[in-house]
């Protein structure tokens, strides 16, 4: 009889563990979502930013600016967007031109 109770408790624990893993995986996936926002900057900000230096150190040196409404058109033409990452708040800021 004690052996049967041990088996039932073991199976119940295993099922509970699987259910807990499923629950926390959904929570992790929800938290893992990044928000993407546009951040309007001007050329003076860009020229003095550490982000520009990081991109240049990574081998990116040819930068062109677009206003918010033209970014999709530029990406479709083969250009790439520049992002500033806020890991703490899980936000990817796409840098766009404010200067006009």
Tell me the pLDDT tens digit for each residue of 46-59. 889 898 898 889 88
* Residue 67, both tokens: 């206003």
Question: By the 8 A CB rule, do 63 and 96 touch?
Answer: no
Encode pLDDT of 7-65 as tens digits: 988 898 999 989 888 888 877 776 778 889 989 888 888 889 898 898 889 888 777 77
- Alpha-carbon distance of 61 to 63, in angstroms, equals 6
Q: Is 95 exposed, middle or buried (0-12, 13-18, 19+ CB in 10 A)?
A: buried
Residue found by looking up tokens 């058109």 in the block: 73
Q: Which two tokens stand for residue 51?
A: 């982000």
> pTM of the prediction?
0.60
C-beta of residue 70 within 8 angstroms of C-beta of residue 100: no
Average pLDDT, the chain: 85
């Amino acid at each position: 009889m004690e052996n049967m109770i041990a088996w039932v408790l073991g199976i119940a624990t295993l099922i509970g563990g699987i259910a807990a893993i499923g629950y926390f995986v959904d929570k992790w996936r929800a938290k893992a979502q990044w928000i993407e926002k546009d951040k309007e900057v001007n050329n003076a900000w860009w020229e003095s930013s550490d982000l520009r230096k990081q991109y240049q150190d990574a081998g990116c040196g040819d930068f062109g600016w677009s206003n918010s409404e033209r970014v999709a058109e530029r990406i479709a033409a083969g250009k790439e967007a520049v992002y500033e990452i806020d890991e703490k708040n899980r936000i990817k800021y796409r840098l766009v031109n404010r200067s006009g």
